[in-house]
């Protein structure tokens, strides 16, 4: 009996692998023999594109009836994953069995040899196409290389250095060449590292080390900030840096002392009258001393940059005073009060416009270190003597009205006022503490103090300044200082304080000793 063979036709793409050699896309059929007695000779069984037939129910029934009948030995269908039979020879995996006679011979590609050994041998290349057309073999040839002579290396690890050309300088032989693993060529310059350079940090470290190793000089002044170490409001750890910074800033906020040369309608007399009026207004509102000094500085700096007409001169002073009040005071006067103080000469809008123009001209820079900051610092070294400090305040305000002192830095002005105040009160010594905390020696402050004495000896042209410090509130220091000056010189004299300094110190020492004796006498 002939059992029908079920043919399953499916298409296999031989070049499924993208890295495989190019081949043909052929349709391959695989036959599954359910039960056969002999190989099928039907043409449909061998044809690659035959139509598949499905088994019928009748054929299946006939197979069942004859299960017990003797059948020829056929290939038994194995269960999945139960046993692995021996590989059948001549059968292609996942394809139909092909006879050995029809199987194409396999071409073995010879192993690729180095190009140096190829001498015209051809490497056969076979490409299988759909129509089984054989491609002509390509022959890979290589042009013969010219024969080169091989020179044996010397057995010795040291080779002979070739002589340099005549153009090059003579080679200097180096000792122990055999120990050097790499011998430098004659024409190659030896690169040496540059000498070690010392950077700024190394130099600074050496300077500090030299200072520490140098013998220290005895400290002649007392550390007055040590007692304020526990007071956070005194910031004693930053006080030295603060005053060093203020001394740098004061040089950048100094006005031009000769700015009157470019003011055709102004002079120093008019300036003194305006400043004396500002002092009167300052006294009326009972403002801080820093407000007055800042006002005069803003006015002088503005006049150093812009020419001003005489009718607008008072407006400049009023604007500077208004800006200083808002900068220093907690409760500054109103703009209506400022206009009223001007006698109605200017309106509110004019004052606002003048204020904006002044700030724009000064580039909004109001960082002016007041002389009061330095006076308080020096007064600490003077045991906070209230009398000396009051006399010093009066002498510093002389610099506001007297244009001669306009070029004096605030720190030097405060030191000179304190030195002259001590001399007037019979305290002639300029101690090491005063030198340290004022940062000025006695020789540096004497010229400034000489200008102050000359102003005191002149007839008081600025009555408001004199009347302000002639009040009981300020201990009448203006009257006392003028009387002291008239006791030693005549009114209107131009003195040289250096010539009379020794005599003044002797007199001051005698007055101090006399006062101490009177204080020791019991009442």
**How far apart are alpha carbons 354 and 243 in whole angstroms?**
33
- Segment 74-91 shows an average pLDDT of 54
Domain boundaries, the chain: 6-65, 249-518
With beta carbons less than 8 A apart as the criterion, state whether 276 and 293 touch: no
**How far apart are alpha carbons 445 and 374 in whole angstroms?**
14
**How far apart are alpha carbons 200 and 71 in whole angstroms?**
109
Lowest mean pLDDT among 55-69, 350-364, 366-380, 495-509: 55-69
**How far apart are alpha carbons 211 and 496 in whole angstroms?**
41
* 78 pLDDT tier (thresholds 50, 70, 90): low
**How far apart are alpha carbons 478 and 470 in whole angstroms?**
5
DSSP E strand stretches across 315-443: none
Nearest partner of 400 among 491, 271, 285, judged by Cα: 271
DSSP E strand stretches across 145-229: none
With respect to CATH, is domain 249-518 assigned 3.30.70.100? no
Cβ neighbors of 406 (< 8 A, separation 6 or more) are 255, 257, 300, 399
With beta carbons less than 8 A apart as the criterion, state whether 335 and 287 touch: no
Question: pLDDT > 70: what percent of the chain?
Answer: 59
Question: Is 411 a residue whose pLDDT tops 70?
Answer: yes
Question: Is 65 a residue whose pLDDT tops 90?
Answer: no
Most confident of 42-51, 65-74, 444-453: 444-453
pLDDT of the residue at 368: 93
How distant is the alpha carbon of residue 209 from its chain centre? 30
Question: Is 465 a residue whose pLDDT tops 80?
Answer: yes
Question: Is 463 a residue whose pLDDT tops 80?
Answer: yes
* 378 pLDDT tier (thresholds 50, 70, 90): very high
Q: For residue 431, give the 3-state DSSP assignment.
A: coil
Q: For residue 29, give the 3-state DSSP assignment.
A: strand
Question: Is 12 a residue whose pLDDT tops 70?
Answer: no
Provide φ and ψ at 312, rounded to 5°: -95, 5
**How far apart are alpha carbons 423 and 160 in whole angstroms?**
95
- Segment 163-186 shows an average pLDDT of 52
Provide φ and ψ at 212, rounded to 5°: -70, -35
With beta carbons less than 8 A apart as the criterion, state whether 457 and 497 touch: no
pLDDT of the residue at 213: 62
More confident residue, 227 or 118: 227
pLDDT of the residue at 359: 96
* 517 pLDDT tier (thresholds 50, 70, 90): confident
- Segment 330-346 shows an average pLDDT of 90
User: What letter would DSSP give residue 217?
Assistant: P
- Segment 404-433 shows an average pLDDT of 94
User: Long-range contacts of range 342-348, CB-CB < 8 Å, 24 or more positions apart?
Assistant: 342/314, 342/315, 342/318, 345/314, 345/315, 346/314, 346/315, 346/318
Q: For residue 288, give the 3-state DSSP assignment.
A: coil
- Segment 17-42 shows an average pLDDT of 46
For the stretch 155-183, what's the b/e string if a residue is b when 16 or more beta carbons lie within 10 angstroms of its beta carbon?
Answer: eeeeeeeeeeeeeeeeeeeeeeeeeeeee
Lowest mean pLDDT among 132-136, 284-288, 293-297, 492-496: 132-136
* 377 pLDDT tier (thresholds 50, 70, 90): very high
User: What letter would DSSP give residue 161?
Assistant: P
More confident residue, 413 or 133: 413
- Segment 125-141 shows an average pLDDT of 46
With beta carbons less than 8 A apart as the criterion, state whether 253 and 369 touch: yes
Cβ neighbors of 380 (< 8 A, separation 6 or more) are 224, 437
The CA-CA-CA angle for residues 219, 224, 226, to 5°, reads: 95
DSSP letter string over 89-152?
A: TT--TTS----TTTSPPPPPPPPPPPGGG-SS---------TT-PPPPPP----PPPPP-PPPP
- Segment 272-295 shows an average pLDDT of 95
Question: Is 59 a residue whose pLDDT tops 70?
Answer: no
With beta carbons less than 8 A apart as the criterion, state whether 505 and 512 touch: no
Question: Is 358 a residue whose pLDDT tops 80?
Answer: yes
pLDDT of the residue at 120: 46
- pLDDT tens-digit map of 208-228: 677 666 556 677 778 888 888
* 195 pLDDT tier (thresholds 50, 70, 90): low
Nearest partner of 59 among 85, 30, 35, judged by Cα: 35
What mean pLDDT is reported for the chain?
75
Question: Is 133 a residue whose pLDDT tops 60?
Answer: no
**How far apart are alpha carbons 292 and 103 in whole angstroms?**
120
With beta carbons less than 8 A apart as the criterion, state whether 478 and 469 touch: yes
Which two structure tokens, joined as six digits, stand for 387?
């009398």
pLDDT of the residue at 230: 83
With tokens 């102004």, the residue in question is 266
């Amino acid at each position: 009996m002939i059992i029908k063979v079920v043919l399953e036709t499916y298409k296999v793409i031989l070049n499924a692998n993208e890295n495989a050699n190019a081949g043909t896309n052929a349709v391959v059929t695989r036959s599954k023999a359910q039960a056969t007695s002999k190989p099928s000779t039907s043409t449909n069984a061998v044809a690659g594109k035959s139509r598949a037939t499905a088994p019928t129910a009748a054929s299946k029934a006939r197979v069942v009836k004859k299960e017990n009948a003797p059948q020829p030995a056929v290939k038994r269908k194995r269960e999945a994953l139960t046993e692995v039979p021996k590989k059948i020879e001549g059968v292609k995996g996942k394809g139909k069995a092909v006879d050995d006679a029809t199987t194409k011979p396999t071409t073995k590609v010879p192993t690729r040899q180095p190009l140096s050994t190829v001498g015209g041998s051809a490497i056969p290349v076979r490409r299988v196409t759909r129509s089984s057309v054989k491609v002509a073999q390509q022959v890979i040839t290589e042009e013969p290389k010219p024969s080169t002579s091989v020179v044996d290396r010397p057995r010795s690890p040291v080779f002979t250095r070739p002589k340099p050309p005549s153009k090059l300088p003579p080679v200097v032989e180096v000792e122990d060449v055999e120990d050097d693993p790499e011998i430098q060529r004659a024409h190659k310059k030896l690169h040496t590292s540059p000498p070690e350079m010392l950077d700024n940090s190394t130099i600074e470290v050496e300077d500090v080390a030299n200072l520490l190793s140098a013998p220290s000089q005895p400290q002649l002044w007392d550390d007055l900030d040590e007692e304020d170490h526990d007071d956070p409001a005194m910031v004693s750890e930053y006080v030295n840096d603060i005053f060093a910074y203020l001394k740098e800033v004061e040089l950048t906020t100094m006005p031009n002392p000769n700015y009157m040369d470019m003011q055709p309608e102004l002079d120093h007399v008019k300036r003194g009258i305006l400043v004396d009026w500002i002092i009167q207004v300052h006294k009326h509102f009972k403002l801080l001393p820093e407000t007055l000094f800042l006002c005069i500085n803003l006015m002088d700096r503005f006049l150093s940059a812009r020419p001003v007409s005489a009718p607008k001169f008072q407006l400049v002073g009023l604007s500077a005073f208004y800006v200083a009040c808002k900068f220093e005071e907690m409760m500054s006067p109103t703009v209506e009060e400022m206009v009223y103080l001007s006698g109605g000469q200017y309106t509110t809008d004019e004052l606002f416009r003048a204020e904006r123009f002044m700030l724009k001209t000064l580039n909004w820079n109001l960082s002016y270190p007041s002389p009061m900051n330095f006076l308080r610092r020096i007064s600490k070294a003077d045991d906070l003597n209230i009398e000396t400090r009051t006399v010093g305040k009066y002498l510093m305000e002389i610099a506001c009205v007297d244009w001669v002192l306009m070029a004096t830095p605030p720190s030097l002005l405060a030191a000179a006022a304190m030195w002259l105040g001590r001399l007037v009160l019979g305290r002639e010594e300029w101690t090491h503490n005063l030198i340290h905390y004022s940062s000025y020696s006695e020789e540096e402050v004497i010229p400034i103090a000489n200008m102050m004495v000359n102003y005191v000896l002149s007839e008081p042209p600025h009555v408001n300044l004199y009347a302000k410090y002639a009040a009981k509130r300020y201990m009448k220091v203006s009257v006392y200082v003028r009387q002291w000056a008239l006791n030693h010189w005549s009114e209107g004299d131009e003195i040289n304080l250096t010539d009379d300094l020794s005599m003044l110190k002797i007199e001051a020492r005698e007055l101090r000793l006399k006062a101490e004796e009177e204080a020791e006498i019991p009442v």
